[in-house]
Structure 1
Amino acid sequence: MTVRALLGAALLALAGCGADDRGTTRRAAGTDAAYPPIGRLVDVGDGRQVHAYVTGSGPDVVLIHGASGNVRDWTFRVADRLSDRYRVIALDRPGLGYTDRAGPSYEGAFTARAESPAVQAEMLSQAARALGAERPLVVGHSYGGAVAMAWGLDRPAAGLVVVSGATMPWPGGLGPQYAVLGSSVGGAVLAPAISAVAGRGIVDRAVQVIFAPQPVPEGYVDHLGVALTLRPPTLRANARQINTLRPHVVEMSRRYPTLDLPVEIVHGDADEIVPPDIHARPLAEVLPDARLTMLPGIGHMPHQVAPDAVVAAIDRAARRAGLR
């Protein structure tokens, strides 16, 4: 979640000359040219599209990224490890990467103009079905873990893998930056400012916080295309989704004991972004068929710093679900 580290720089810009909308537009166009879609755009109705990266063959595995991410997060170290035995479908979540925002045709689509995990799961499951994946194994990282849980609760799935997932209610709030960015005024003014001033040094420091205590793998930032995250509409959508997540998780958690699916949970015990004592361990206790793998000394990004452990969990979930 890069917003915290970028907020201070954006406020400095606002105190000075402010944001240049024309410059922001030019940068966004340059970002799209530098980091074009790496997959296909799947029509899900009402003129809306979901960006899907598809590779390999075999049982279907859907990969859902976390906050501030896109499909490239999964293609850095995981997709190639799976494609020899699964058909891998990595999806940009609504409003991020190259997937459109959800619309009014999605029942209950917006809470404070943000898509709930359930609405995101519906939109992404429609894309998966359009690709022929009727009952996939669904894997979600961080915020994507909440979307994976929503998918399992309401949509056909063979099983779930939750990696560093934000899946249980947590105490307190998320900090003022998400509320400000998620507001209409903050989204209109602050998001372009962040986009305008976020240099490579600021981005690198923000990513280091996300990976701590592990170092950021060489080439990760360039592969991910962090500039995609810094487009103003993406910043706004991301902040609104994060800011409204907790009440959805509260409601979803009441239904977790009814979930009749095999679930693999993978979490680093050094994760300070999504603490395992608040999320992974309580989730494992309330699910009827869960297996928890704690990774000693690992932070918030196990799929990047310990990808073999995540791939092993996917293989276990596939076996438990009868896919292999």
Structure 2
Amino acid sequence: MIAFDRPGFGHSERPRDRLWTAQAQAAFIQQALMQLDVTRPVVVGHSWGTLVALGLATGLPADVRGLVLISGYYYPSARMDVALATPAALPLLGDALRYTVSPLTGRVMLRRSVEAMFAPAPMPDRFFDVVPREMLLRPVQIRAAAEDAAFMIPSAAHFCAHYATLEMPVSIFAGEGDKIVAPEAQSVRLHRDLPHSDLTVMPGAGHMVHYVVADEITNAIDRMSADPDTKHLESRMSVDGVPLTIAD
């Protein structure tokens, strides 16, 4: 498996030499895959990362073996969180906010925000041991999150016109109690629009549904990665069919 932190998240950077739309991020990751000699990956995306996964699938569909989409946003809709987050992406004003007010308010709201992402399931006790608060509240990551919020609705509007052209297998996962994106309006609707898809909506899970259905997601990746002419998985050193995860 190859796991990419999208630009501005994790330990990655987000240069200001372009607009980091979902299409631009997909093209950037495609360049990285070419440098790594990766061919026909199974692409796994969670949350905003599903838009990047769809960018890879619609831009170079023959090169994507399969898609695993988790808690994604696929169709444009009015969102209050987008309006609230966008000011931090603006030049000058956003710079001032990211180095003064935003880290302070973010620290106050962070635990509640993460709990909302897991709800109705509980947040793991060690979550902030693995994902430090300081990493989440860096000015560059605040800018990345704000820019992503600004591009989220137009990216979904762009990709939804291409869903009918997707011919690779797609596995869709969502939490029934997701408070971030509505499963019925997003994941269930996408499943209806994709003839080569399967859908799992997990009761008792929220936006972080992959913590609850990790085995089911792994099985979906294994099915797509397997050689269709064999009945079992074999140990492989080849990069062909490697799972690719795109995360925040």
The 1:245–1:320 alpha-carbon spacing in structure 2 relative to 1, beyond 3 Å, is farther
Q: Which has the higher contact order (CA 8 A, sep 6+)?
A: 2
TM-fit CA distance, 1:129: 2.4
| Equivalent AA in structure 2 for residue 138 of structure 1 | V
Number of the residue aligned with 2:103: 195
Number of the residue aligned with 2:156: 249
Number of the residue aligned with 1:141: 46
Number of the residue aligned with 2:24: 119
Q: Deviations over 1:207-237 (max 9, x none)?
A: 1111111111121222122321211121012
SS of residue matched to 1:278: helix
Number of the residue aligned with 1:277: 184
TM-fit CA distance, 1:197: 5.5
State the TM-score, normalized to the length of structure 2.
0.84
TM-fit CA distance, 1:322: 6.9
Q: Deviations over 1:120-173 (max 9, x none)?
A: 111112212222212210000000111111111113211100011112222344
Aligned-pair identity (%): 32
Structure 1: unaligned runs, 5 residues or longer: 1-87
CA distance in 1, matches of 2:133, 2:215: 24
Number of the residue aligned with 2:165: 258
After alignment, is 274-283 or 306-315 more displaced?
306-315
TM-fit CA distance, 1:300: 0.5
CA distance in 1, matches of 2:97, 2:228: 45
Number of the residue aligned with 2:202: 295
State the TM-score, normalized to the length of structure 1.
0.65
Does structure 1 residue 217 correspond to structure 2 residue 100?
Answer: no
The 1:254–1:289 alpha-carbon spacing in structure 2 relative to 1, beyond 3 Å, is same
CA distance in 2, matches of 1:191, 1:137: 35
TM-fit CA distance, 1:194: 2.2
Number of the residue aligned with 2:242: none
The 1:260–1:240 alpha-carbon spacing in structure 2 relative to 1, beyond 3 Å, is same
Aligned-residue CA RMSD (Å):
2.2
After alignment, is 141-150 or 229-238 more displaced?
229-238
| Equivalent AA in structure 2 for residue 291 of structure 1 | D
The 1:206–1:272 alpha-carbon spacing in structure 2 relative to 1, beyond 3 Å, is closer
Structure 2: unaligned runs, 5 residues or longer: 234-248
Number of the residue aligned with 1:150: 55
CA distance in 2, matches of 1:296, 1:322: 35
Given that 1:136 and 1:158 are in contact with CA atoms closer than 8 Å, whether structure 2 keeps it comes out as yes
Given that 2:117 and 2:207 are in contact with CA atoms closer than 8 Å, whether structure 1 keeps it comes out as yes
**Pairwise mapping of residues 4-153 of structure 1 onto structure 2 (< 5 A)?**
88-101=1-14, 104=17, 109-110=18-19, 115-153=20-58
Q: How many residues align?
A: 228
TM-fit CA distance, 1:190: 1.5
CA distance in 2, matches of 1:321, 1:245: 35
Does structure 1 residue 161 correspond to structure 2 residue 161?
Answer: no
Does structure 1 residue 178 correspond to structure 2 residue 91?
Answer: no
Number of the residue aligned with 1:35: none
| Equivalent AA in structure 1 for residue 4 of structure 2 | L
CA distance in 2, matches of 1:182, 1:317: 37
| Equivalent AA in structure 2 for residue 96 of structure 1 | F
The 1:203–1:99 alpha-carbon spacing in structure 2 relative to 1, beyond 3 Å, is same
Given that 2:68 and 2:170 are in contact with CA atoms closer than 8 Å, whether structure 1 keeps it comes out as yes
Q: Deviations over 1:4-26 (max 9, x none)?
A: xxxxxxxxxxxxxxxxxxxxxxx
The 1:103–1:126 alpha-carbon spacing in structure 2 relative to 1, beyond 3 Å, is farther
The 1:203–1:322 alpha-carbon spacing in structure 2 relative to 1, beyond 3 Å, is farther
| Equivalent AA in structure 2 for residue 125 of structure 1 | Q
| Equivalent AA in structure 1 for residue 35 of structure 2 | A
